[in-house]
């Protein structure tokens, strides 16, 4: 049996803290009940006693923060854009890959013997056969730490989630996979927090919708994502588990532009080590050290 303490890092791509204006789909959600809706000009209370820490994603480097360098920073605790001198979009280059290979949170947990870590996302069979293929920061981190990739059979067995937790996009691609309700998806993640010390889940449709500037889809999708989080927080034992939601950069909170924003991102913390984590986090470089410290306590 594992110890009585675990962490779930719920990564949402492209979610910033914007203004409450017409171009912000989050302004149209039920703010009191939404674990995603935060605004620069409005202190939002969130559900289940969560605390939101506005988190710097620009990291002292000029320009708009981007996914590859932002995610590398979240997953290693190293200021990746500062290391390479710019915000790198898309997929990690060799320099970022090296940082991930040597410093990922998965590897650090393993080296320091801090428990069992896993990546909750399921990969399709095509992932393993398509060559060459671009690999995201998370995929590189999982691979370099020798952690097993979850597959569609794990998803069918209730042991993995697709990045689109409803499975709709898998079905659109022709996979014979049932749709998940938000409750079923939340149950899978909650179950993983009971078997592992550290669980990462990655959700990036939010960033895609931000680039597409699709307002109707954004509100619909954010509502669904908020529902998943509400279900999740009901099912996770918050006496044992610390849930940390964070993002790599802003995007979907301002659909007046197809670009990322320079807004701070919301890091929202719930559960066991909330007070401790809140005090540690200022920028994306603080996420991995916070996770490691919580596991060390």
Q: Which residue is nearest to Zn ion (CB)?
A: 207
Nearer to Zn ion, 207 or 273 (CB): 207
What b-and-e string marks burial along 1-30, b requiring 16 or more CB atoms within 10 Å of the CB? eeeebbbbbbbbbbbbbbeeeeebbbbebe
Nearer to Zn ion, 208 or 293 (CB): 208
Nearer to Zn ion, 193 or 206 (CB): 206
Cα gap 69→79, rounded to integer Å: 8
Binding mask 168-207 for Zn ion (x = CB under 5 A): ---------------------------------------x
Q: Name the packing angle between helices 94-103 and 137-144 (round to 10°).
A: 50
CB of 88 to Zn ion, least distance (A): 12
Classify residue 132 by its DSSP letter.
S
Nearer to Zn ion, 203 or 272 (CB): 203
CB of 257 to Zn ion, least distance (A): 12
CB of 144 to Zn ion, least distance (A): 23
CB of 266 to Zn ion, least distance (A): 17
Cα gap 151→176, rounded to integer Å: 14
- Own/partner long-range contacts of 138-144 (Cβ < 8 Å, ≥24 apart): 138/11, 138/71, 138/75, 138/200, 138/202, 140/92, 140/97, 140/100, 140/101, 140/104, 141/75, 141/76, 141/100, 141/104, 141/105, 141/106, 141/107, 142/106, 144/100, 144/101, 144/102, 144/104, 144/106, 144/107
Q: For the beta carbon of residue 216, count every other beta carbon within 10 angstroms.
A: 9
Q: By CB under 5 A, how many residues form the interface with Zn ion?
A: 1
Residue 227 within binding range of Zn ion, rule CB under 5 A = no
Nearer to Zn ion, 136 or 290 (CB): 136
CB of 248 to Zn ion, least distance (A): 8
Residue 248 within binding range of Zn ion, rule CB under 5 A = no
Question: Contacts with Zn ion in 14-73 (CB under 5 A)?
Answer: none
Binding mask 133-172 for Zn ion (x = CB under 5 A): ----------------------------------------
Chain centre distance of CA 16: 13
Nearer to Zn ion, 207 or 227 (CB): 207
Q: List contacts with Zn ion (CB under 5 A).
A: 207
């Amino acid at each position: 049996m594992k110890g009585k303490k675990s962490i779930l890092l719920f990564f949402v791509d492209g979610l910033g803290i914007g203004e409450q204006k017409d171009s912000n789909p989050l302004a149209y959600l039920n703010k009191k009940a939404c674990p995603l809706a935060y605004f620069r000009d409005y202190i939002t209370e969130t559900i289940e006693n969560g605390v939101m820490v506005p988190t710097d994603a620009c990291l002292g480097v000029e320009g708009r923060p981007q996914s590859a360098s932002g995610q590398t920073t979240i997953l290693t605790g190293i200021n990746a854009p500062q290391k390479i001198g710019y915000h790198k979009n898309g997929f990690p280059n060799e320099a970022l890959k090296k940082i991930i290979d040597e410093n990922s949170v998965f590897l650090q947990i393993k080296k320091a013997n801090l428990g069992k870590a896993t990546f909750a996302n399921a990969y399709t069979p095509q992932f393993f056969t398509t060559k060459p293929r671009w690999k995201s920061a998370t995929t590189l981190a999982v691979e370099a730490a020798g952690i097993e990739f979850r597959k569609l059979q794990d998803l069918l067995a209730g042991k993995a989630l697709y990045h689109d937790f409803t499975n709709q996009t898998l079905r659109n691609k022709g996979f014979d996979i049932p749709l998940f309700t938000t409750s079923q998806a939340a149950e899978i993640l909650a179950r993983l927090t009971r078997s592992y010390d550290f669980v990462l889940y990655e959700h990036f449709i939010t960033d895609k919708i931000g680039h597409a500037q699709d307002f109707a889809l954004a509100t619909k999708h954010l509502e669904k994502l908020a529902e998943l989080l509400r279900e999740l927080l009901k099912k996770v034992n918050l006496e044992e588990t610390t849930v940390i939601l964070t993002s790599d950069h802003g995007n979907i909170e301002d659909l007046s532009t197809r670009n990322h924003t320079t807004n701070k991102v919301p890091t929202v913390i719930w559960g066991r080590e909330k007070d401790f984590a809140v005090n540690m986090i200022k920028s994306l470089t603080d996420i991995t050290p916070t996770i490691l410290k919580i596991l060390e306590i």
